[in-house]
Amino acid sequence: MAETVHPAEQAAHGEHHEEGWVKKYLFSTDHKIIAMQYLFTGMAMGLIGAFFAYVFRMQLAFPGMEVPFFGVVSANEYNSLITNHGAIMIFWVAMPVLIAAFGNFLIPLMIGADDMVFPRINRLSYQIFFISALVLLASFFVEGGGFGGAWTAYPPLSANAAYSLTPMGATLWLVAVALEFVAFLLGGINFVTTLMNSRTKGMGIYDIPMVLWMIIIASILFMASVGPLIAGAVMLFMDQQVGTHFYDPTRGGDPLLWQHLFWFFGHPEVYVVLLPAMGIVADIMPVFARKKLFAYRTILWTAIGTGVLSFTVWAHHQFIAGIDPRMAHVFTITTLLISIPIAEMCFVYIATLYGGSIRLNTPMLWALAFVAEFLIGGVTGIFLGASGADIYFHDTYFVLAHFHYTFFPIAIIGTYAGVTFWFPKMFGRMMNDTLGKIHFWGTIIPFNLIFIPLFVLGAAGQHRRIYDFTNYPMLAEPWMQDLRVLATVSLVVMLAFQLVFFYNVIVSLVRGEKAGKNPWKSNTLEWTTESPPPHGNFGDQYPTVYRPPYEYSHPDREEDYWPQNLPN
C-alpha cells in the first residue's frame, strides 16, 4: 500500500521527457509506451493470423482454387496455416493484448502509481516478446516451410523431422513459443509485484478495479502452469535437434508425456486469457449501466476458484488419447464442476444490469456481446467435458466452434471493448461512435454466421485439420459444402468490416473530439489524470483512494458517479 517512488525520483521522471524518438518509443521504460508496443505488435500479428484463417477457409470452401493473395494451398501449407493461426492468435494476440497491453497500461494508472516497479524488466519483456514474433515469422520461410503439427504439437509427429517434414520449421516454432513464455514470465512478475506494492494511499484490496484482479490472477495462473511445459519443450527440442528419445516409444520414451505437460499448461491458459477479458467487461458494464458491480467479492472469489480448479481438468483434452479409461471419470467431474464458478460469473454480470440505466455506446455493445456470445461457448463446452459425449465430438468441428465461441469473445470482442473504452485515455481523443457501431455489427453478425454452421458440421461428424473434405464420401454432401461456403463468405465479410475499425482509429486520432479527463464519467483512478497521461502519470500529487471503484448512482450523492479519489 506504500508509495514506492520518492518525490525526487518523480522529478527525475519529468526531465526524461526530452528524449529522442527512438529512445522514447522503441526503448522506453514507460509502462504506457510498452503497453502500446504490445498492443500494436499484437494487432499486427492478429492481421497475420486472420490472413491465415482467410487462406485456409478459402481452400475449404473452394478446394484447389487459387486463393487471391496466396495461390493454390498445398497440404503441407494448409497444415502450417492452421497450426500457426492457432499459435499466433493465442500466444501472439490474446496474451500480448489482453494481459500485457492492458496490464501495462492500466495497472499503474488504476492503482495511482507512476510506473511499474520493474520498468527495465518490463522493457526486456517486450523486447523478448518482439524477438519471439520475429522467430515465428522466420519459421515460415525456412526449408520445408513452417511447422504443421497443430498448435498442440503432439510428438512423435512434432519430435521427428522424418514424420513432420519440417526440419527447421518445427524447431523455430518451438523456440518462438519458449521465448514468448519467457516474456510473459517477466511481465507476470512485474504485474503481481506492482499491484501488491505500489497501490496509492487508501487503496485496500477490495478497492482494486476488477480488471486488475483478473490480470493478476491470470499472471499467477500462467506462472504456475507454464513450468512443466517449459520442461516439456526442452525435451521436445532435444528430441528434434540432439537425438534424444524422450517421446519416442521405440527407444523407451512416451508420447503421452508431452500431452500431460502440454495440457497441464494448456487448460489454465484458457483462463489466463479469459479472466482479463472478463475483467475488462466487469469494468465497462458498471460505467454504462451507471450501476455498482453486483457482488464484487463473489466475482473475485469465483475467479480465484476458477483458477484453482483449472489445474485439475487438463486430461479432458485426452479422454480418448489412450489414458486409463477410469481416469476419464475424475476429469469429467472436475470439468463439469468448473461450470459452477463460470456460470456464477455470468449470473453476476446479468445481475449487474438489473436496475441500471443502460447506455449502448460502442464499448458497452462490445461488453454485452462478450456475455451473450461467451455463453454459447460456455454451454457447448459441457458436451465436450462429459466423457461419454466427447467420444463422438472429440476433434470435430464442434470442438473448433466451441472454442472459437470462447476465444473470439475473449481475444477479439474483449480487445475491442477495452480499446474503444480506454482509447480516449490512451490517445486523448474520442472514437467515432457511429463508425464504432457499424464496425460492431459488421463483426458480430458475420462471426455467428461463421461458427454456427461449423457447429452443425461438427455434429455431422466433420473432423478437424483436413484440407479437402471431398476425400470423405460422408462429408462431401452438397449441403455440407454449402455450409462451408457460408462460413468462408462470412469470414471475408467480417474481415472487410475490420477496415472500418482501422479507419475509425486513424480519423479519430487526427480529428476526434478532445476527450478531456473523464469522458465516460467513470470512477477509477486512470480517469482522474490528463488524457493521455503524462510521463509519471499523476504529476506531482498522487491520488488518494476513499472508496471502492464501482459506486455509481449512490443514493447519498446527486451525481450518478463517485470517483475513488474524491474525499466526499
Partner 1 sequence: MIETWVEAVSTYARDVDNLILLIGVLVGFWFILCEAVFFGFIIKFRHRPGQKAQYVTGEEKSQKRWISIPHLLVLVCDVFIIVGAVQVWYTIKQNLPEAEQTVRVVGQQWAWTFVHPGKDGKLDTADDIALVDELHVQANTTYHYLLESRDVLHNFSVPVFRLKQDAVPGRTITGWFNAQKTGQWDVQCAEICGIGHGIMGARIFVESPDEHAAFIASHSQAAPVAVATASGR
Q: How far is the CB of 297 from partner 1 (least distance, A)?
A: 7
Q: Is residue 478 close enough to count as binding partner 1 by CB under 8 A? A: no
Q: Compute how many other C-beta atoms are within 10 angstroms of the C-beta atom of residue 297.
A: 8
**Which CB sits closer to partner 1, 3 or 433?**
433
Distances (CA, A) of 350 to 301, 305, 354: 18, 20, 7
Q: Is residue 496 close enough to count as binding partner 1 by CB under 8 A? A: no
Cell numbers at 86, concatenated: 492457432
Q: Is residue 452 close enough to count as binding partner 1 by CB under 8 A? A: no
What's the full length of the chain, in residues? 568
CA–CA gap between residue 17 and residue 38 (Å, rounded): 21
Q: How does DSSP assign 444-504, residue by residue?
A: HHHHHHHHHHHHHHHHTTPBSS-S-GGG-GGG--HHHHHHHHHHHHHHHHHHHHHHHHHHH
Which amino acid is it at 293? L
Cα 210 → chain centroid: 17
Indicate which single residue of 85, 260, 292, 404 sits in contact with partner 1 (rule: CB under 8 A): 292
Q: How far is the CB of 169 from partner 1 (least distance, A)?
A: 12
**Which CB sits closer to partner 1, 253 or 276?**
253
**Which CB sits closer to partner 1, 11 or 360?**
360
State phi, psi for 71 to the nearest 5 degrees. 110, -170
Beta bridge partners of 514: 429
Residues in contact with partner 1, counted by CB under 8 A, come to a total of: 97
CA–CA gap between residue 536 and residue 444 (Å, rounded): 38
Q: How far is the CB of 371 from partner 1 (least distance, A)?
A: 6
Indicate which single residue of 10, 37, 122, 164 sits in contact with partner 1 (rule: CB under 8 A): 164
Indicate which single residue of 189, 386, 452, 509 sits in contact with partner 1 (rule: CB under 8 A): 386
Indicate which single residue of 165, 452, 492, 493 sits in contact with partner 1 (rule: CB under 8 A): 165
Which amino acid is it at 90? I
Q: Site residues for partner 1, window 64-123 (CB under 8 A)?
A: 75-76, 78-79
**Which CB sits closer to partner 1, 377 or 543?**
377
CA–CA gap between residue 433 and residue 440 (Å, rounded): 10
Beta bridge partners of 463: 396
**Which CB sits closer to partner 1, 193 or 339?**
339
Indicate which single residue of 20, 68, 243, 473 sits in contact with partner 1 (rule: CB under 8 A): 473
Closest by Cα among 188, 424, 303 to 293: 303
Q: How far is the CB of 560 from partner 1 (least distance, A)?
A: 6
**Which CB sits closer to partner 1, 347 or 427?**
347
Write the binding mask 121 to 160 for partner 1: x where contact by CB under 8 A, - elsewhere.
---------------------------xxx---xxxx---
Q: Site residues for partner 1, window 6-35 (CB under 8 A)?
A: none
Q: Is residue 493 close enough to count as binding partner 1 by CB under 8 A? A: no
**Which CB sits closer to partner 1, 96 or 145?**
145
CA–CA gap between residue 84 and residue 520 (Å, rounded): 38
Q: How far is the CB of 285 from partner 1 (least distance, A)?
A: 11
Q: Site residues for partner 1, window 177-236 (CB under 8 A)?
A: none
CA–CA gap between residue 299 and residue 208 (Å, rounded): 13
Distances (CA, A) of 507 to 340, 424, 502, 512, 519: 44, 13, 9, 7, 18
The SS3 assignment for 27 reads coil
Q: Site residues for partner 1, window 303-322 (CB under 8 A)?
A: 319-322
State phi, psi for 429 to the nearest 5 degrees. -130, 155
Closest by Cα among 430, 414, 370, 415 to 40: 415
Q: How far is the CB of 565 from partner 1 (least distance, A)?
A: 20
Q: Site residues for partner 1, window 527-566 (CB under 8 A)?
A: 552-555, 560
CA–CA gap between residue 451 and residue 449 (Å, rounded): 6
**Which CB sits closer to partner 1, 234 or 360?**
360
Q: Site residues for partner 1, window 332-371 (CB under 8 A)?
A: 332-333, 336-337, 339-340, 343-344, 346-348, 350-360, 368, 371
Kindly give, in sequence order, each residue whose CB lies less than 8 Å from that of residue 86, ignoring residues fewer than 6 positions away: 150, 151
Cα 41 → chain centroid: 14
Indicate which single residue of 4, 298, 448, 498 sits in contact with partner 1 (rule: CB under 8 A): 298
Q: Site residues for partner 1, window 509-528 (CB under 8 A)?
A: none
Q: Is residue 444 close enough to count as binding partner 1 by CB under 8 A? A: no
Q: How far is the CB of 160 from partner 1 (least distance, A)?
A: 8
Write the binding mask 404 to 433 for partner 1: x where contact by CB under 8 A, - elsewhere.
------------------------------
Indicate which single residue of 387, 490, 528, 529 sits in contact with partner 1 (rule: CB under 8 A): 387
**Which CB sits closer to partner 1, 60 or 109?**
60
Q: Is residue 244 close enough to count as binding partner 1 by CB under 8 A? A: no
Distances (CA, A) of 477 to 13, 397, 467, 474, 490: 66, 16, 16, 7, 20
**Which CB sits closer to partner 1, 97 or 369?**
369
> C-alpha dihedral over 529, 530, 535, 537, to 10 degrees?
10
